[in-house]
Structure 1
């Protein structure tokens, strides 16, 4: 069965919906393919609070571009990086296809973030800097009221009102090229037909590969077996979008060996069961030993690295240990979203038995830690410099003795918000090949694209989906309009 459209979009999260609405506003006939049911549409977006690294509704944070560039790649050839100082059109092909954080793309993201947030407001979206689970922060953030769910519902309705057709429980499988190599559609399948064809320019917006165990093992490595998607929507992201594009010669970008990690309670089945209180206690492995500075900076700046280190521990699990002093932290309960209660005991030995850690080791670890703490003022809502002395690893902030019951422990494992590796694309959201040339008729936006290396630039993923989804839809629609004008 063949369906004819101007623009075909694989994915129904913020990137796909932004592309759909943008293209439809410009007069294109649009289809959206979504693997999930209507009730679960929206991918990761549906489940996120959708933080945005903004000072306000019009301006990105002061550290926005700097943070991206500080995490632009690993041991990049400086002679190639220097080429990016020239206009994009003059970049050599190897630079246009290089796997690194493209400053032209990041510049576009920073420039278009404010206008895109204003564009979203016409669909009823409002913004707030309301309190979140981050009770200490190193940058500025706002979020849409209602989070990602509000984005999906508002843009979904707008798309439907504009005549966009949705095909649920339908999975994109393969891109279709004409004789000149232009992308003219894609093949897809659903429960009753494995040979569906949707003709039109294609926007790939169907996420990364965190829901695909084979790809996680291939790219992330052996400890991927301990990693699960942060929320239900991530299980639908199985990497077909990346694979389809690679099959037609797309270049890659982003670090395929890493992912945006968050510390979660593995006992919990709720969406994003984060455990962010660990800076106010200590972290121990299964043997009862500390292994990391639990509070080297504000929690929003360190939780990803802490989660990755935990993933590499035996069994991929650690335990956050606290005492009654945790209750001195205002609103610490906001930092834990597990629906499972912590393990609790009157003594460390009893707590160790409950979590399966050698009691003698845990008691020795806590005794050594307590001896390394020093007097000072405890300031729980700011980086206070109250660190340990003479112990490795150190604890740089909020270091107080763990000595008064009740003692509590939360298990922590690493979860995957999204994978870093994806498709290389330009500032017009066009997917490029290994010579840096745009593949005609093919666009990508959102988590399927690769722009992150090293540390995730927090609160930018929903932004990139909205910005480049909107750009992709508008550019694809304009190309269709130009083709029709030329033909007439």
Structure 2
């Protein structure tokens, strides 16, 4: 079956809906393809708190561009990086297709974040700096009231009112090119057929590959066996958009060997069962030994790296150990969202038996840690410099003896919020090839668009999806109009 539209959007999360709505506002006839059923539409957006790295609903945080560029790639050739000081049109092709965080992409993201948030307000979205599970923070954040679910519902309603057509349980599989190499549509599968054809310009906004075990093993390596998506929506993200783009010659971008990691309780089946209380205790491996500084910075600055380190431990698991002193931390319960109770015991030996680690090792680890703590004022809601002395690895803040029962432990594994690897795009969200040339008719946004390296610039993923989804929709609609205007009217 062949269906013809101006714009085909693969994906129904924040990126896909932003693209669909903006394209429809531009007068385009739009279709949205979504792998999930209606009841579970929305990918990761449906489940996220949707934190936004903003000072307010108009301005990004002060460290926004700085953090991105500090994590723009690894051992980059400085002669190539220097080329980015020139206007984009003058960049050589190898720079336009280089796998690094493009400063033009970041600058556009920063400049368009505020206007995009204002654009979403017309659909009923509101914003707040409401309290979150991050009780210590290194930057500023706001969030939409109602989180990602509210964004999804608001934009989907707007799409419906604009006449956007949705096709659920329909998976984009293969891009269709004409003889000139322009993308003119895609082939999709559904329960009814494995050969649906949707014709039009294509926006790939169907997530990363956190729901694809084969791609994770290929790109992330053997330790990916211990990783699962942080929320149910991630299971629908299986990398088709990335695969399709690469198959037609798209340049890759983003770190294909990494992912945005969160520490979760592996016993829990709820969405995002995070365990963020570990800075106030210690972390031990399956042998009962510490392996990292649990509090080198505010929790929002360190949890990703700690989660990745945990993933590389034997079994991909660690345990957060604390005593009754955790109750001295105001609202610590906000930092734990698992529905499973912690292991609890009156002695460390009993606790070790419950979590399956050596009691002798755990008792020795705690004794060595306690001996290295120092006197000082405990300030749980700010970095207090209350550090260990002469201990490796050290603990830089909130280091107090673990000596007051009951003792508690939470298991922690690493969850995959989203993968970093994706497609290289320009500031119009057009996908480019290995020579830095635009692949006409093809756009990417959200997780399908690669941008992150090293450390994730927290609270920017939803922004990336909204900003570049909107840009993709606007550009695709305008390009469709331009193409139609260029076609001469038939002679009478």
Name the residue aligned to 1:364.
364
Name the residue aligned to 1:138.
138
Name the residue aligned to 1:58.
58
TM-score normalised to the size of structure 1?
A: 1.00
1:288 aligns with 2:299: no
CA shift at 1:145, angstroms? 0.1
Q: Counterparts in 2 of 1:105-116, with a 5 A limit? A: 105-116=105-116
Residue 485 of structure 1 aligns to a residue whose secondary structure is helix
CA shift at 1:485, angstroms? 1.4
Residue 39 of structure 1 aligns to a residue whose secondary structure is helix
Q: Counterparts in 2 of 1:377-388, with a 5 A limit? A: 377-388=377-388
Residue 58 of structure 2 aligns to a residue whose secondary structure is coil
Runs of 4+ deviating beyond 3 Å: none
CA shift at 1:487, angstroms? 1.6
Counterpart CA distance in 2 for 1:304 and 1:463 is: 19
CA shift at 1:401, angstroms? 0.1
Residue 327 of structure 1 aligns to a residue whose secondary structure is helix
Q: Counterparts in 2 of 1:263-278, with a 5 A limit? A: 263-278=263-278
1:18 aligns with 2:7: no
Counterpart CA distance in 1 for 2:347 and 2:214 is: 43
Counterpart CA distance in 2 for 1:248 and 1:91 is: 23
Name the residue aligned to 1:7.
7
Deviations 1:106-151 (A, max 9, x none): 0000000000000000000000000000000000000000000000
Name the residue aligned to 1:447.
447
Counterpart CA distance in 1 for 2:408 and 2:120 is: 43
Counterpart CA distance in 2 for 1:282 and 1:44 is: 31
Q: Counterparts in 2 of 1:317-396, with a 5 A limit? A: 317-396=317-396
Residue 197 of structure 2 aligns to a residue whose secondary structure is strand
Tell me the C-alpha RMSD between the 2 structures. 0.4
Deviations 1:54-109 (A, max 9, x none): 00000000000000000000000000000000000000000000000000000000
Q: Which runs of 5+ in 2 are unaligned?
A: none
CA shift at 1:484, angstroms? 1.3
Residue 261 of structure 1 aligns to a residue whose secondary structure is strand
Residue 351 of structure 2 aligns to a residue whose secondary structure is helix
Name the residue aligned to 1:226.
226
Aligned residues: 488
CA shift at 1:192, angstroms? 1.5
Deviations 1:256-306 (A, max 9, x none): 000000000000000000000000000000000000000000000000000
Deviations 1:165-218 (A, max 9, x none): 000000000000000000000000001100000000000000000000000000
Residue 263 of structure 2 aligns to a residue whose secondary structure is strand
Name the residue aligned to 1:476.
476
Name the residue aligned to 2:205.
205
Name the residue aligned to 2:27.
27
Q: Which runs of 5+ in 1 are unaligned?
A: none
CA shift at 1:483, angstroms? 1.1
